[in-house]
């Protein structure tokens, strides 16, 4: 049986940045800050 390669996890800082960018649904973070993000439980779980 062939072993699956193990992928390294992204550093926590990059993971948080990617999550914030994913949750920016109403506007750009650069424009409105974190007010542009939808941090509902369902939205974060879909990330």
Instruction: Write out pLDDT tens, residues 1-47.
Output: 567 565 566 566 788 888 888 888 878 888 888 888 888 898 888 88
Q: How far apart are CA 6 and CA 34, in angstroms?
A: 33
- Going by C-alpha positions, the residue among 5, 7, 4, 43 that lies closest to residue 23 is 43
Backbone angles phi, psi at 7, to 5 degrees: -90, 140
Res 19: pLDDT: 84
Global pTM value: 0.58
């Amino acid at each position: 049986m062939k072993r699956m390669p193990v992928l390294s996890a992204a550093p926590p800082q990059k993971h948080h940045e990617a999550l914030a960018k994913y949750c920016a649904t109403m506007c750009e973070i650069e424009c409105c800050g974190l007010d542009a993000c939808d941090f509902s439980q369902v939205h974060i779980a879909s990330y």
